[in-house]
Structure 1
């Protein structure tokens, strides 16, 4: 009798034990998902069965969900039965949520041109740079004149950037990665330091401060509620070799992640080798239900050579050659940087919270060039804080966002003569200071369930000091400074939800972009304090539709830009800058994505096609220099048309194929429009096999870039002296690699 009662008590205990039962499906198709990796907090991984169902003992626990091809999800569950929908990484406009303008909303509710680039986009190509992944999106173009030398052009914003990234605000894990002088060393990041990104196209000053091109937010944080060891190896043409080691370790409710990556290549051209090493260490530490802290450390050691531009005769003779003098003078960049940041989130209540990020950075920069040798040693700091409050106004939902950002930097800058790649006698030396800051406010009011009205303002201030210590030419020494008057930048936007899967929006926004110190203080020692800030006004309308397997986005805009900054080169080959009156920039952007088959049951699992068209009809409105009147000419460096077509196939066994075709129209290379680059077609392909074996993730792949072996430049020099317009990109080249990860 006693044994019978014991057994009965045991069975009753089992029956009444708290349990969480989950039914996991595809958010788009509704089909059950097998082999989803499910991890209850501080427990081992589990996987779903063929019906997508899993049962977990417990009550009140945080559970994470991960499956290749789907966005990571983490939620809190009490005891009971739940339907869990995973969102495919292939963008579905009706499901995807973005946090642009510091307001996390579905993309269909956003009143701006926003694109999202994720790991799946990066993994369609050779994973050595972000160029191809971003260039498949409408309105965005990253140029790479030499390996690891990037220019970002959002709607033609690279006009004033002979090198580096300007006129675009970049954030990395909520840290302002753009320096207070307006430049961005994007090449300090390896692609493995970017898990996803959001791009806001056009002036966005209401939240992100100065800049007419747009803003890019990069995120590296992986799933920290896991334990994972991973390694990647990639090799390819021109001596390419890249490897990565990564570790993610859950600690309590938080965790840490660390990675080290090394990338080397000899380059397609003479004097175009790259050697980059990046170490990243991040941590996530929940303090309580109200507070959490995130930390980041980034150490980057970058060395890349600069082959220089070629004229038409040199290009025809041998596109792999370097510009004469580049090898002898060791034209190159050596840069070491350290970034430390800490982010803090505090939730005052369910309706009010604050997010604050602090950072410090150091920078050691050396740049021997044909004409000189530049050395810079810098230090900077900054902070960004944001308050968000949800309330009601007349019974309507109101979201208020307000905050501030401030950055400051000091740099010891010296320019020497260059004697066979070695710094010679100092020519001039300066102590530089740059600072910028702004306050921002934004209100979002839901007039009805379908109408969302947004109004935003930012008040911007900036300035710099150039304290000349030495001038070997006998010029004056002392402090030159420039302070830009506070500028108020507005943004008005309206979004109307036509249905649950479509919407239209319209917006008017302002932009403000002061010249950088590198544009005012040039390499030949002059200081141009007369260079004015660019000011722009952008008018934009857009339509979005995302219904299950079919997405469409159509956008038209008109940007009026005053005091446009352009470049030219003097007889010594030094790049200088000038204001070009005004420009009119009219454009259209169209994107279409269609899932012919999504999560199919047969051999073919996914069959996806997509296309993105960019039409940029830009011209100088009022631009006269001396006897030359360039008014009415096409804007320099901007292709009028660009068309990208994508095809992705995935099979049940794990074999996949990614094909991309990109057509780029002719590009005017000088303000006079007398020289154009030829149109070109690029075809890239990647074939691979990816599979999950219990706790192991495995992938092997190979690919080819520039399949048609086109002769083209991925970034040209604009208005150069001596006709050195061309920076030839690699010919047909191949790569292959392997990825292995163990989840424990």
Structure 2
């Protein structure tokens, strides 16, 4: 009997040792099998799927496998010893028909979207120095991020930064579907680190029918939501001018969701005198599936940011020493210290077979301190708000329809005080205001597929906004008083059509209206005046475009004409304070073209992929009619807008893990004043990043990289002051500089 039991035990274990797990690997988007997938298994030789996408593995326990293919996103997951296992891989987005975007709250392939939409993927953020989103965004046609000083950003989408001497205005920003733009119309983009962003969508031009105020467009950031494995990670980056950035993060799978947390600190002494930065960002996110039809996400973001402001230089100062600070900046400690806490709660529910709802709420608080050469500002701000949308998918008389109904509300309260500045310390109070801002709108959108080829979108929103400025202290000649500005309710429509030429190409056209009320910073300026006569900008945009995947080529072409009335522009008074005025009308005509292709892709070859991208922006913007101070500027180029920009990218990836990214950017001359008498000269920026990344066994990931920015050592300004008093136009950018870093990740 013992011999029989022993024989059975040996046979059973021999069968276990020889047990084969059959794996079938498929394309998630098409369901087709994928041949040539490299599978890494800890403690075993690498395997490759056959022509049917299949392979067999001798697994006797649960193991972590890494699946990689040049045309698909690399994934790693636990696989148990079973008879048959199916693995689904997501295509790498090298074709327009594979790029899915939400756009105007309509999740479709980009090739069949009605509107000028750009997507910035996570891998695009990390092909440059990892200290900001600036370089990646500036590779997209029609989009430009300027940096007047480290951590002082200005976003221009189709020339929308004209009214932004500092900060982000006239652009609506969302983070995980939650309004990230404050109710007063400003956005603190500088509180986010790259680690808080995974993917980004950018709508160019007015999108008021669904997103409210902002003629420039919409930026929608999304942080990492799907956690497929338990993962610990750590990054270390360094570079010239004292750059040091380090990050630690953890992703933890839970029974019905996931938890992730990260902390990152970035420090730099800066290229110029008095341009140091110190930023600390902590984020924690919890995702949970309440049921098969409900999910809940909550996040907390805390940012502690300090940065110095060197100020603008004249031509003479620039030629003397472009690294110097503006006289007075150091003595007055011109700088910003800002602490921000942002908490969010998002809920998704399926309501039957046809309806679903997404609701997101947020709370935010901010402490802001800004000593400047001319004054000293302190602000304490609190805001809350949310966005909800109901979506219906149905058929109407045989036509597929999608109906969207929703609303957004934001409330903000700021205690703002301005003091004199005595050697960098707050002196006597000059004026103190209690600022209350309210923004709200309702939106409706209907999509109808009239035929299998023709899709129509019709949307509009009803918008409401008001400011209350209650002045309690005024050391000047004005008497403290309460001021109110209520803007008339506005209805903002949009109509768009898409014609699907085939599955890989489409023609789109749209007519959309937009508006942008002045921000509190434009109504209430630093010298104490309150300009209640400033009107909201109103515009209408006509747009047509063509997208196509032609073999290895992806083409995206858009032409537009934007007519803007009551344009808000800047001017500077004799004390150097930036003020605002409505400047008649502007005509904005432009073309935006993107072409990318992969002339070589071969799984298993030494060089696995070579990819190129070219992006051209032609913005031919002029003042239609604008008179100021007895001068007629009608017909002049729009201030601060480069008429021509060209981007060229080259990416090479090898089987060994080595990669190279090469970037060239040409920027045409830029008019710096309304009279078009001062221009920044055209310049060429060249940069490159080299690196090596690999996976060891099934647990460890390692990447080492190094790069150079401004390889040609060009002298240029990345964020000019427009219509500057005393001809202080220039904010010099760094010359040639180097950076590097290392990243380590571990699955557990």
TM category (shorter chain) comes to over 0.9
- Is 2:724 the partner of 1:720? yes
Q: Aligned pair in 2 of structure 1 residues 161, 46: CA closer, same or farther (>3 Å)?
A: farther
State the Cα distance separating 1:253 from its structure 2 match: 2.7
1:459 and 2:457 are equivalent in the alignment: no
Cα shift at 1:349: 2.5
SS in 1 for 2:47: coil
- Cα displacement string for residues 185-238 of structure 1 (whole angstroms, at most 9, x for unaligned residues): 000101111111000000011111111000000011243231000000001000
Would the aligned equivalents of 2:256 and 2:290 in 1 still touch at CA under 8 Å? no
Q: Is the 8 A contact 1:560 1:584 kept in 2?
A: yes
Q: Considering only aligned residues, what root-mean-square deviation do their CA atoms show, in Å?
A: 2.9
1:673 is the counterpart of 2:673? no
What are the residue-to-residue correspondences of 1:250-649 with 2, within 5 Å? 250-547=253-550, 549-649=552-652
CA separation in 2, counterparts of 1:400 and 1:37? Answer: 46
Flag the 1:661–1:428 CA change in 2: closer, same or farther, 3 A. Answer: same
SS at match of 1:728: coil
- The answer to whether residue 48 in structure 2 is matched with residue 50 in structure 1 is yes
The range that moved more, 712-721 or 548-557, is: 548-557
Q: Quote the residue 1:246 is aligned against.
A: 249
CA distance in 2, matches of 1:37, 1:338: 42
Distance 1:652 1:416, change over 3 A: same
Alpha carbons of structure 1 residues 286 and 317: separation in structure 2 relative to 1, 3 Å = same
Q: Distance in 2 between matches of 1:165 and 1:79?
A: 56
Match of 1:730 among 709, 729, 734: 734
Give the distance between the partners of 1:66 and 1:82, measured in 2 at CA. 12
Residue 118 of structure 1 deviates from its aligned partner by 1.3
Q: Give the alignment's TM-score, normalised by structure 2.
A: 0.93
CA displacement at 1:625 relative to structure 2: 1.6
| Counterpart pick for 1:102 among 102, 105, 121 | 105
1:697 is aligned, of 691, 697, 701, to 701
Gap regions ≥5 residues in structure 2: none
- Is 2:659 the counterpart of 1:656? yes
Given that residues 24 and 33 in structure 1 are in contact (C-alpha distance below 8 angstroms), is that contact kept between their aligned partners in structure 2? no
* 1:123 CA displacement: 1.2
Determine if contact 1:64/1:72 at 8 Å carries over to the other structure.
Answer: no
Of 124, 128, 139, 1:136 maps to 139
Cα separation, partners in 2 of 1:460 and 1:37, compared to 1, 3 Å: farther
Mapped contact 1:460–1:487 kept (Cα < 8 A): yes
Deviation at 1:31, TM superposition (A): 5.5
The Cα shift of 1:683 comes to: 0.1
Moved more, 27-36 or 349-358: 27-36
Instruction: Write the distance in 2 (CA, Å) between the matches of 1:435 and 1:105.
Output: 33
- In structure 1, distance between residues paired with 2:395 and 2:11: 53
Does structure 2 conserve the Cα–Cα contact (< 8 Å) formed by 1:717 and 1:727? yes
Please report how far the alpha carbon of residue 86 of structure 1 lies from its aligned counterpart in structure 2 after TM superposition: 2.5
Flag structure 1 segments of 5+ consecutive residues without an equivalent. 39-43
Cα contact 1:26–1:88 (8 A) shared by 2: no
User: Structure 2 residue aligned with 1:219, among 217, 222, 241?
Assistant: 222
Closer/same/farther in 2, CA of residues 568 and 71 from structure 1, 3 Å limit: farther
The residue aligned with 2:711 is 707
Question: 1:173 is matched with which residue: 158, 176, 181?
Answer: 176
- Counterpart residue number, 1:741: 745
Relative to the length of structure 1, the TM-score reads 0.94
What is aligned with 2:206?
203
Shift of 1:79: 9.7
Shift of 1:335: 0.2
| Aligned-partner Cα distance in 2 for 1:622–1:518 | 25
The alpha-carbon deviation at position 71 of structure 1 amounts to: 4.4
Task: State the Cα distance separating 1:37 from its structure 2 match.
Answer: 8.0
- 1:118-162: CA deviation from partner (whole Å, max 9, x where unpaired): 111111100101110000010000000100100010000000000
Q: 2: distance between equivalents of 1:85 and 1:499?
A: 25
Kept in 2: contact 1:456–1:491 (CA 8 A): yes
User: C-alpha deviations, 1:419-471, integer Å up to 9, x for none?
Assistant: 01100000000000011011111111111111111001111111111000100
Query: 2-side partners of 1:296 and 1:690: how far apart?
Result: 30
Report deviation, 1:348.
Answer: 1.1
Taking the aligned partners of 1:441 and 1:608, their CA distance within structure 2 comes to 40
Contact 1:243 1:263 in 2 (8 A): yes
Does the 8 Å contact 1:25/1:33 carry over to 2? no
Distance of 1:707 and 1:545 partners within structure 2: 34
Q: How is 1:6-25 mapped onto 2 (pairs within 5 angstroms)? A: 21-24=23-26
Conserved? CA contact 1:37–1:45, under 8 Å: no
SS of residue matched to 1:671: coil
Paired with 1:662 and 1:720, the residues of 2 have a C-alpha distance of 26
1:101 is paired with a residue whose SS is coil
Q: Is the partner of 1:187 in helix, strand or coil?
A: helix
Mean alpha-carbon deviation: is it higher for 619-628 or for 535-544? 619-628
1:87, distance to aligned residue in structure 2 (A): 1.2
Q: Deviations over 1:558-612 (max 9, x none)?
A: 0000000000111111000000110000000111001011244321111011100
User: Residues of 1 paired with 2:603 and 2:610: CA distance?
Assistant: 9
Query: Could you give the per-residue CA deviations for residues 328-355 of structure 1, whole angstroms, max 9, x where no partner exists?
Result: 0000000000000000001112321100
Give the deviation of 1:3 after TM superposition.
Answer: 7.0
1:103, distance to aligned residue in structure 2 (A): 1.5
Alignment-derived partner of residue 41 in structure 1? none
Does the aligned pair in 2 maintain the 1:34–1:48 contact within 8 Å? Answer: no
CA contact (8 A) 1:47 1:54 kept: no
In structure 1, the residue corresponding to 2:224 is in which secondary structure?
coil
Q: Residues 33, 324 of structure 1: CA spacing in aligned structure 2 closer, same or farther, 3 A cutoff? A: farther
- State the distance in 1 between where 2:44 and 2:483 align: 64
**DSSP-derived class of the 1:206 partner:** helix
- The 8 Å contact of residues 73 and 89 in structure 2, kept in 1 or not, is answered as no
Equivalents in 2 of 1:85, 1:333: separation in Å? 46
1:257 aligns to what SS in structure 2?
strand
Distance 2:417 2:271 in 1: 31
